[in-house]
Amino acid sequence: MHEVSIAQGLLKILEDETKKHGVSRVTRVHIRIGELSACVPDALTFAFEIVSEGTVAEGAELKIEVVPAKGRCDKCDIEFDVDSAMFLCPQCGGVAAEIVSGKELDIAEIEAE
């Protein structure tokens, strides 16, 4: 499952961060995932609960924000919303040269005690 490897990666970052800052427990994690990252928030929450068991992040609340996908057309020099099925520029009908956002997976904030 895709989400399990994401949850493990997330946990690794949390363990590094908590070690660095000398905290013993993570209470809440705010992450941003792109609409196009093919990650299901519910599945990620579930996977995180499992992999964080017995770690500093056990019982931490996962707050997931989904970032909408945006494309950019070089020809028209505009940015526009895309969904997973459409990558076409609304102005010239061209295929988006670049996906500006929607694939990210970032930790926005970690709350710990």
Q: Which residues bind Zn ion (CB under 5 A)?
A: 73, 75-76, 89, 91-92, 94
As a whole number of angstroms, the distance between CA 91 and CA 71 comes to 12
Cβ neighbours of residue 69 closer than 8 Å, sequence gap 6 or more = 34, 35, 36, 81, 82, 83, 84, 99, 101, 102, 103
Q: How far is the CB of 75 from Zn ion (least distance, A)?
A: 4
Q: Toward Zn ion, which CB reaches closer, 48 or 87?
A: 87
Q: Toward Zn ion, which CB reaches closer, 53 or 81?
A: 81
Q: How far is the CB of 102 from Zn ion (least distance, A)?
A: 18
Q: Toward Zn ion, which CB reaches closer, 76 or 105?
A: 76
Q: Toward Zn ion, which CB reaches closer, 53 or 74?
A: 74
Q: How far is the CB of 83 from Zn ion (least distance, A)?
A: 17
Q: What are the CA-CA distances from residue 19 to residues 15, 48, 61 (Å)?
A: 6, 19, 19
Q: How far is the CB of 71 from Zn ion (least distance, A)?
A: 9
- Which strand ranges, in their side-by-side order, compose the sheet holding 26-34? 61-67, 26-34, 105-112
